[in-house]
């Protein structure tokens, strides 16, 4: 069947009206299955589930309508080729089960394959600066051979750059939406959303179909982004930025939080700087900082790169290329410091590497490697 029959009760449960996520999750934690709430009489709910009689009556009065809505969601999911999983499903993200306010149901478009996968969320301001865009590209490209899944919220700015760079570097990426999967928000990212699916990624949401985006949904979405990943990286954020909500939730869930520092007078770096200053985030400068901090293996990356270079280039050229690749980007002075080669020799090697298509010069007399 398209959906396990018992899942109908999980979906229906999400339509029960309650004060907040925590109260509903607390209710569900005290019973074996949401099915009991839709099959027991009010008296049995009160006695067997130890519910307040008023709560039992309230649930009973809603459940026919909730079941009807659940069937409608299943029908819509069939039409849209969307999978529905609940917290009892095999494919439900393991990390999400660890948080107290985990979503009961997830709607999934695409491939949500998370087994033994390293999960990193990358978030930031919608008003990304050139610095933020550059840093996002630098970090994601540095993770390209580490088999990491990049999670973000498909918003404009840093989220968009995180997804795009993940795709460009062959990394799986998952977009978490705050609205239903019958629409893409923002609409300008419809093409990007399709690229995510075409690249083997997924778009997910806890919200049912026909749920429009609203400001109140962003914090709910952000908790999923933080909860389903091992670590969160904030690239750029103002002191009141939504990205800091994600980072705060990650801290609440005892997940690692990284941040990229920026100029003290840059509005969209003040949030990151404050988190670093207050020890709420770890300062990172490159992808290797993340890999080392998380204990994620980087030996494969280095050995693969070295083998490719070694088969084509002399030893000194390999050495300089690896320095440039590690720094992303790298200055002439830094190459001189690390190699102690004569400046004319370094310039000669840089010219050969550039002509060979291994590196390119960028503004500021800096060099960066070109992925081959």
Q: What is the pLDDT of residues 142-161, one digit of tens each?
A: 998 888 999 999 999 999 99
pLDDT at 234: 97
H or E element: which one contains 31? none
CATH of domain 299-369: 1.10.10.10
Q: Are 368 and 328 in contact (CB under 8 A)?
A: yes
Give dist(CA 113, CA 170) in Å, integer. 15
Give dist(CA 370, CA 331) in Å, integer. 15
Would you give the DSSP letter of residue 261?
A: -
Q: Are 363 and 329 in contact (CB under 8 A)?
A: no
pTM higher than 0.75 for the full model? yes
Q: Are the folds of 115-173+212-294 and 299-369 the same?
A: no
Structure tokens of 365?
Answer: 């007399």
Give dist(CA 372, CA 365) in Å, integer. 22
CB proximity list for 15: less than 8 A, separation 6 or greater: 62, 65, 66, 69, 70, 208
Q: Are 232 and 119 in contact (CB under 8 A)?
A: no
Give dist(CA 142, CA 324) in Å, integer. 12
Cα 166 from chain centroid? 11
Place of tokens 């999670």: 151
pLDDT at 22: 53
Residues in the chain: 372
* Phi and psi torsions of 316, nearest 5°: -65, -35
Q: Can you give the residue ranges of every domain in the chain?
A: 1-80, 115-173+212-294, 299-369
Domain 115-173+212-294 has CATH 3.40.50.450: yes
Would you give the DSSP letter of residue 284?
A: -
Q: What are 50-97's pLDDT values in tens digits?
A: 888 988 999 999 999 999 999 999 999 999 999 999 988 878 998 998
Q: Are 165 and 137 in contact (CB under 8 A)?
A: yes
* pLDDT per residue rounded down to tens, the chain (372 residues): 334 457 899 999 999 987 555 577 778 877 878 899 999 999 999 998 888 898 899 999 999 999 999 999 999 999 999 999 998 887 899 899 899 889 999 999 998 877 668 999 999 999 999 999 999 999 999 998 888 999 999 999 999 999 999 999 999 999 999 999 999 999 999 999 999 999 999 999 999 999 998 888 899 999 999 999 999 999 999 988 789 999 999 999 999 999 999 998 899 899 999 999 999 999 999 999 999 999 987 544 444 444 444 445 788 888 888 888 877 778 888 888 888 788 888 888 888 887 777 888 887 778 888 754
């Amino acid at each position: 069947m398209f959906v396990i029959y018992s899942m109908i009760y999980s979906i229906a449960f999400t339509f029960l009206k309650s004060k907040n996520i925590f109260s509903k999750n607390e209710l569900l934690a005290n019973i074996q299955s949401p099915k009991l709430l839709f099959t027991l009489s009010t008296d049995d709910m009160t006695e067997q589930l130890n519910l307040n009689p008023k709560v039992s009556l309230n649930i009973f009065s809603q459940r026919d309508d909730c079941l009807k809505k659940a069937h409608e969601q299943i029908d819509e999911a069939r039409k849209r080729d969307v999978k529905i999983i609940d917290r009892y499903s095999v494919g439900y993200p393991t990390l999400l089960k660890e948080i107290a306010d985990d979503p009961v149901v997830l709607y999934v478009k695409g491939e949500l394959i998370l087994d033994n996968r390293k999960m990193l969320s990358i978030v930031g301001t919608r008003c990304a600066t050139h610095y933020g865009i550059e840093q996002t590209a630098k970090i994601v490209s540095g993770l390209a051979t580490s088999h990491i899944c990049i999670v973000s919220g498909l918003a404009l700015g840093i989220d968009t750059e995180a997804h795009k760079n993940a795709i460009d570097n062959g990394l799986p990426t998952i977009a978490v939406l705050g609205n239903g999967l019958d629409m893409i928000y923002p609409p300008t990212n419809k093409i990007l959303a399709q690229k995510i699916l075409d690249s083997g990624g997924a778009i997910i949401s806890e919200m049912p179909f026909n749920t429009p985006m609203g400001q109140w949904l962003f914090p709910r979405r952000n908790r999923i982004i933080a909860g389903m990943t091992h670590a969160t990286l904030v690239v750029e954020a103002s002191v009141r930025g939504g990205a800091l909500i994600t980072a705060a939730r990650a801290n609440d869930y005892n997940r690692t939080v990284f941040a990229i520092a920026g100029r003290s007078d840059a509005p969209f770096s003040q949030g990151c700087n404050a988190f670093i200053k207050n020890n709420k985030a770890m300062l990172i400068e490159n992808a290797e900082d993340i890999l080392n901090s998380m204990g994620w293996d980087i030996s494969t990356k280095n050995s693969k790169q070295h083998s490719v270079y070694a088969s084509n280039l002399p030893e000194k050229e390999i050495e300089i290329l690896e320095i440039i690749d590690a720094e992303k980007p790298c200055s002439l002075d830094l190459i001189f410091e690390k190699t102690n080669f004569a400046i004319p020799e370094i310039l000669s090697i840089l010219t050969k590497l550039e002509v060979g298509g291994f590196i390119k010069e960028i503004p500021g007399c800096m060099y960066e490697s070109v992925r081959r």
